[in-house]
């Protein structure tokens, strides 16, 4: 790139969407095309002094889900915002539903244009010491860190940046208890060992010794996928 040029991934994505939508229009296919724009995660970008993903704070976990139906489909009215709880598991059944195709009974997600809606949304990330679990009812979001049994509770309607943890407030204990019970209902496998007597107990993680992050959490260079490393008698991938 020329000196002084600023490159933005957002600008790049906007340009590529323009190319796709423009081509569909030029080919006469736009009015008969379903478009769904989303992402697998957001990024903290310094919020709470944190970076990257692996968290259930809003800037990491609350990503856009933008849906455009075929021209004239009343199930996807233009400009409408639907506040139902959705996840990536809902993409497949939504597209099948809009295309008039049957949704297999084995699919766990829900069509975003059907009347059926979930009461809570469960999320999980990572395991053992870095495990994080989340349950969301549309207004309140409970985040649980099993290591040390730490719980956070946020009112995401009034507190869109997760600035005020309500978990310890007397006026929010009924909400906390309800969401903890809903979270326990979704746990499985090794996570069940972190529950005793119907309550979250987590585990004692032991001492933690921070180390220098020389790789900046695995940041990539100009190569992806990574090229093989060749040494005398050894051919492998860099560690």
pLDDT one digit per residue (tens) for the chain, 239 residues: 344 444 455 688 889 999 999 999 999 999 999 999 999 888 888 888 888 788 999 999 998 899 999 999 999 999 899 999 999 999 999 999 999 999 999 999 999 999 999 999 999 999 999 999 999 999 999 999 999 999 999 999 999 999 999 999 999 999 999 999 999 999 999 999 999 999 999 999 999 888 888 887 777 788 777 777 766 655 555 55
Tell me what pLDDT residue 6 has. Answer: 43
Clarify whether residues 176 and 190 are in a common domain: yes
Clarify whether residues 93 and 157 are in a common domain: no
Q: Cα separations (Å) of 50 from 53, 145, 198?
A: 9, 16, 32
Buried b (16+ CB within 10 A) or exposed e, 16-34: eeeeeeeeeeeeeebeeee
Q: Is residue 181 part of a domain?
A: yes
Clarify whether residues 110 and 155 are in a common domain: no
Tell me what pLDDT residue 50 has. Answer: 84
Q: Is residue 235 part of a domain?
A: no
pTM reported for the whole predicted model: 0.83
Q: How far apart are CA 166 and CA 230, in angstroms?
A: 53
Q: Is residue 227 part of a domain?
A: no
Please give the tally of structural domains in the chain. 3
Clarify whether residues 92 and 151 are in a common domain: no
Which domain covers residue 192, as residue numbers?
A: 120-204
Tell me what pLDDT residue 197 has. Answer: 95
Q: Is residue 38 part of a domain?
A: yes
Tell me what pLDDT residue 4 has. Answer: 43
Clarify whether residues 72 and 132 are in a common domain: no
- The rounded Cα 216 to chain-centroid distance in angstroms is 22
Clarify whether residues 114 and 127 are in a common domain: no
- Tokens, residue 172: 């929010």
Q: Is residue 226 part of a domain?
A: no
Clarify whether residues 189 and 140 are in a common domain: yes
Clarify whether residues 156 and 196 are in a common domain: yes
Q: Is residue 231 part of a domain?
A: no
Clarify whether residues 69 and 20 are in a common domain: yes
Tell me what pLDDT residue 8 has. Answer: 56
Clarify whether residues 187 and 133 are in a common domain: yes
Clarify whether residues 198 and 124 are in a common domain: yes
Clarify whether residues 126 and 194 are in a common domain: yes
């Amino acid at each position: 790139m020329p000196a002084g040029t600023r490159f933005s991934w957002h600008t790049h994505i906007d340009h590529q969407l323009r190319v796709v939508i423009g081509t569909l229009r030029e080919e006469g296919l736009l009015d008969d095309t379903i478009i769904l724009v989303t992402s697998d995660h957001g990024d903290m970008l310094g919020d709470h002094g944190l970076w990257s993903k692996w968290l259930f704070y809003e800037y990491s976990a609350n990503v856009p889900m933008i849906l455009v139906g075929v021209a004239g489909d009343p199930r996807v009215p233009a400009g409408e915002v639907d506040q139902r709880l959705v996840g990536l598991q809902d993409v497949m059944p939504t597209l099948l539903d809009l295309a008039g195709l049957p949704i297999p009974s084995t699919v766990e997600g829900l069509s975003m244009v059907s009347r059926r809606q979930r009461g809570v949304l469960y999320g999980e990330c990572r395991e053992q010491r870095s495990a994080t679990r989340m349950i969301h009812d549309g207004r309140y979001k409970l985040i649980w860190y099993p290591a040390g049994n730490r719980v956070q509770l946020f009112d995401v309607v009034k507190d869109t940046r997760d600035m005020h943890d309500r978990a310890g407030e007397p006026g929010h204990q009924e909400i906390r208890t309800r969401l903890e019970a809903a979270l326990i209902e979704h746990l499985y496998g090794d996570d069940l060992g972190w529950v005793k007597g119907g309550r979250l107990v987590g585990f004692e993680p032991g001492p933690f010794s921070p180390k220098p992050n020389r790789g900046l959490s695995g940041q990539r260079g100009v190569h992806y996928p990574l090229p093989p490393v060749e040494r005398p008698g050894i051919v492998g991938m860099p560690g």
